[in-house]
Amino acid sequence: MGSPARRSGPSPTPRGRARILPRELKGAAGGPGARAPVTAEIKQLRAARVSTRGVCDLRTPRTPQKRWDRGATPGWEVPASGRCARDRPTAATSPCSSVFTLSDLQRCTSGRLDPESVFAETGASSPPPSAYLILLHQCLPPEKLTKREKRLKGKVVVALRKRNDQIQEAQMRQHWLLEENRQLQKEKVLVEAESKSILDYLTENSKHRERKCEELWKEYFQQYQELERRKQELVSRYEKETSELKSQLLRGEKVQYKLEQWLQALRNIATIQERQDRRIQTLQEQIERVPAELHVKDRDAHFQFLQHKALLEQEIKELDLVWKQLGERKRGKLPGKAQALEYTAQKSHFEFCRGLYRENQQVRKKLKPLLQEAQKLEAIQSQLENQKQQLKQRQWYQESIMRGRRQLQSRRDWSPKEQGALKTTLHPPLDSKPTSKGIPKVTDEIRTGP
């Protein structure tokens, strides 16, 4: 479960070890941002273990050497904690505990190791020897052995010590592995607790999201129903307004047709009025010319009368002269002639004045119906002007109705209140008919006119 070269030192606590994430969080913690703290913690642990190894190396006076076990798998290095075996007490209950340390074993291998010297060196300060060495020492006492046997015994002792060291190191590795397993189990419990809390949080969050989605779907469905309801209302209102507008359009067309008929009648009346105006103008010109003509005729008649009077006076003067010349002999005849001339003059003057008076009476008789007709035409003209004003007003009403319809067609999203206000302001009462009281009178007067 780890590298075979384990280092001595205090085992790291679960807080100091790298956290192992569960499978569910590998996808979330597998990024470079999540690996950074794990690698930092591993580097700190390695630095701590290197420092503990340095302490053990200071306790050993010589340079550590690598040693390979013949029976073990190649590649397993003797851990550095084996060099610090003096500082750490071994398990007393182990039946295979070694008497010698690794430094003593190395000294024995470097030179010719004698069992007596070894036991002498590790007499008081070392722990009791192993059962195999005691049995070998009892079976082969050094007093009865030859040099060759002693040499063989030394080799056996060295092999036993090596095997004892290997067993001790295996036990130490087992102890470390068990300790690490316990720590990993603790970490597993912590990770499981963390993963459980995270899973609980994720499940709760997913449930919350599901509830939120359901609420949003419900709200969306309610909004959809509200929009459908408003759509139905708008469609019904649109159909109702279109039907109303069509009915108003029909009424407006009827009113327009009536107005066109009235306009045509008014045009006929206007043509008749124009003819009557021209006739009135001619009559007025004639009326204006009559006094001037009368004055001219009166002046001419008076001038003729004065001329005739001057002639008569001259004749009277001549007659007076003749009367003076003739004397008294013819006086009886001259006054009769003068009286006859005077009578003829008065008679001619009276007839002239009477003719003028008669002519004047005839002109007045002719002028009286013309004046009456002119008054009637003036009344008709005032009525026509009033009707023309009413027609202009109705045309303005009709134009405002058309503008209102165009505005209603262009602005469908107006509120009903605004549409009602627009109808009240723009639409005139369509059922009301124009006052046409003066039209039949005018036509009757025109028909009854001269």
Q: Of 70-79, 165-174, 358-367, where does mean pLDDT reach its minimum? A: 70-79
Summarize the confidence of residues 41-53 as an average pLDDT. 48
**Higher-confidence residue: 345 or 8?**
345
Q: Of 77-81, 185-189, 335-339, where does mean pLDDT reach its minimum? A: 77-81
Residue 85's φ and ψ, nearest 5 degrees, are -65, -25
Burial 185-206 (b: 16+ CB within 10 A, else e): eebeeebeeebeebeeeeeeee
What's the confidence (pLDDT) of residue 114? 44
- Tell me: pLDDT of 23 over 60: no
Selection from 88-92, 225-229, 308-312 with the highest mean pLDDT = 225-229
- Tell me: pLDDT of 72 over 60: no
Task: Tell me the Cα Rg of the chain.
Answer: 76
What's the confidence (pLDDT) of residue 222? 93
Give yes or no for a contact between 77 and 4, defined as CB atoms under 8 angstroms apart: yes
Q: Of 21-25, 208-212, 280-284, 414-418, where does mean pLDDT reach its minimum? A: 21-25
What's the confidence (pLDDT) of residue 43? 54
- Tell me: pLDDT of 187 over 70: yes
What's the confidence (pLDDT) of residue 335? 60
Q: Of 327-331, 342-346, 444-448, where does mean pLDDT reach its minimum? A: 444-448
Distance CA 423, CA 410 (A): 15
What's the confidence (pLDDT) of residue 398? 80
The one-character DSSP state at 143 is G
- Tell me: pLDDT of 41 over 80: no
**Higher-confidence residue: 391 or 411?**
391
- Tell me: pLDDT of 137 over 90: no
**Higher-confidence residue: 252 or 50?**
252
94: Cβ contacts below 8 Å, ≥ 6 apart: 167, 168, 171
Amino acid letter for position 34: A
Q: Is 20 left (phi over 0), alpha (psi -120 to 50) or beta?
A: beta
- Tell me: pLDDT of 33 over 50: no
Domain boundaries, the chain: 1-88, 234-291+318-448
- Tell me: pLDDT of 308 over 60: yes
CB-CB neighbours of 82 under 10 Å: 22
Burial of 365 (0-12, 13-18, 19+ CB in 10 A): exposed
Distance CA 37, CA 43 (A): 10
- pLDDT tens digits along 171-184: 999 999 999 999 99
What DSSP string describes 74-102?
Answer: TTPPPPGGGGGTTTSPPPTT-TT--SS-H
- Tell me: pLDDT of 288 over 90: no
Residue with tokens 């079976």: 139
Give yes or no for a contact between 405 and 426, defined as CB atoms under 8 angstroms apart: no
**Higher-confidence residue: 311 or 20?**
311
Summarize the confidence of residues 14-36 as an average pLDDT. 42
What's the confidence (pLDDT) of residue 129? 58
